[in-house]
Structures are given as C-alpha cells and as structure tokens.
C-alpha cells in the first residue's frame, strides 16, 4: 500500500473520490454550506491526518490536477462566446462593475488587515483572494506575498461566494442575469462561476468574463496600488 501512496495515482484518486462524495452529498441535501469542494477538502485532510500521510505524497498527484486549472479557465470562453451580443450591449456597465469590484476587494483587504494589525506580508498574500488561482499565485509572488496563503484565501473566498451568492441576490432582489454573473465572477472567481452556471447560462457566461477581466485588472492594478499603499502608510 505504501508504494501506491508514493505514486501520483494516490493524489489523483483520493481527490476524485472525495469530490464525488461531496458532489453526491450536495445533490442529495441541496444545503448550500455542504459545497462539494468544501466537503472534498475536509475529507482529504481527514484521510491524510488519520493515516499520517505526508502532504508531499498527496501533492504528487494533486499537482497534476492543478495543471488543468489553466485549460478549464480558458474553456469558460465557450459560454461567453454564446453571449457575445449581450456583452457588447452592456460593455460599459460590465467593465465599470468589474473595476469597482476589484478596487473594493483591495480596499477591504487593506482596511481589515490594518484594523487587525496583520503583518505586511499577510496584506500582500490576501490582496489577490478574489481572482482565479493561477493568476492569484503570480500576483502574490510579484508583490511579495506568500503564495500558499494566497491559495487558501482564494479557495475560501470561492467557497463562501458560491454558498452565499444565491442568498445575497435574493435578499437584495438582484434579478438581472448580467448583474448577478458579473458580481459572482468578480468576487468569487472559478468556484463562484461554477455556481453561476447552475443559476443559468447567461449568469455563467458573465461570471466567466468577470473572472478573466478581474484577474487581468488585478494583475495590472494591484502592484500600482501596493506602491501607493506603501507611500501612504
């Protein structure tokens, strides 16, 4: 058994099984907090802890799965292409909404970390929390953050966004499909986009668009904002 654990097949197999259990549980219960990703992460941690398996052993397969993040992100262009006319029609509100979301995310992170007196590296690590993982890691490394913390923040942000997005839309009576998609994609990247796709094709397409553009804006804007932040502080 030990030889199998040390192969990439172990990490791949446990990831797939854990996610399938999470997906089955979510479909059966329909409880938002029982998100498949949250359940699968919990199950994997429990298995590694109970059987005293090193994280490095799991990562041999987990890293292979991570390679698919890029192609999956690009694949989101398919539903976007189907809604291209809708994008052209609402291009200015969409761009303004995404830019506002990115700026709000930056300000909220800086404000909260300042209130709780966090180390400056923590600020840099949490700033890219609302963009997709591949871009978030690069931004974190560029501005001097800790990529591992950034990844955790991105995952938590995505899961929370996917869980509360329908409730927030309902409470604030956000019925416009474009607005819902843009809000979800800007705030909770790929995990939120998966939820947006459940809500409808338009929501999914707009969320995928928002995820891509917010990642680009963050990569370009955040280093400048960090410089301004350091000057002001």
pLDDT digits (tens, 9 = 90+) for 41-70: 999 999 999 999 998 999 999 888 888 877
**pTM score, two decimals?**
0.84
Nearest alpha-carbon partner for 76 in 215, 221, 218, 219: 215
35 exposed, middle or buried (CB, 10 Å; 0-12, 13-18, 19+)?
buried
| In contact, 145 and 118? CB cutoff 8 Å | no
Task: Provide the sign of the torsion angle of the four alpha carbons 169, 207, 107, 137, taken in this order.
Answer: positive
Question: d(Cα 176, Cα 146) in Å, to the nearest integer?
Answer: 37
pLDDT score of 73: 67
**What is the average per-residue pLDDT within 168-192?**
92
pLDDT score of 53: 93
Where does the pLDDT of residue 181 fall: very low under 50, low under 70, confident under 90, or very high at 90 and above? Answer: very high
What is the residue-averaged pLDDT of the chain? Answer: 88
pLDDT digits (tens, 9 = 90+) for 23-46: 999 999 988 888 898 899 999 999
pLDDT score of 209: 85
Helix axes 177-199, 147-171, angle to 10 degrees: 110
111 exposed, middle or buried (CB, 10 Å; 0-12, 13-18, 19+)?
exposed
pLDDT score of 126: 92
| In contact, 181 and 90? CB cutoff 8 Å | no
Res. 231: pLDDT tops 80: no
């Amino acid at each position: 058994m030990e030889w199998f654990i040390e192969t990439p097949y172990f990490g791949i197999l446990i990831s797939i099984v854990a996610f399938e259990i999470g997906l089955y549980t979510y479909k059966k219960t329909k409880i938002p907090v029982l998100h498949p990703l949250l359940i699968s992460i919990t199950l994997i941690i429990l298995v590694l802890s109970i059987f005293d398996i090193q994280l490095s052993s799991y990562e041999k397969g987990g890293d292979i799965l991570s390679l698919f993040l890029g192609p999956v992100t690009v694949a989101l262009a398919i539903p976007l292409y189907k809604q291209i006319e809708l994008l052209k029609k609402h291009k200015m509100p969409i761009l303004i909404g995404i830019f506002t979301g990115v700026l709000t995310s930056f300000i909220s992170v800086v404000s909260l970390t300042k209130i709780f007196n966090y180390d400056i590296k923590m600020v840099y690590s949490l700033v890219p929390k609302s963009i997709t993982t591949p871009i978030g890691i690069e931004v974190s490394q560029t501005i001097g953050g800790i990529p591992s913390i950034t990844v955790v923040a991105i995952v938590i942000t995505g899961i929370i966004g996917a869980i509360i997005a329908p409730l927030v839309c309902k409470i604030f009576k956000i019925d416009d499909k474009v607005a819902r998609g843009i809000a979800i994609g800007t705030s909770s990247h790929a995990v939120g986009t998966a939820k947006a796709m459940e809500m409808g094709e338009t929501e999914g397409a707009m969320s995928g668009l928002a995820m891509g553009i917010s990642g680009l804006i963050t990569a370009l804007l955040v280093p400048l904002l960090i410089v301004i932040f350091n000057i002001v502080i």
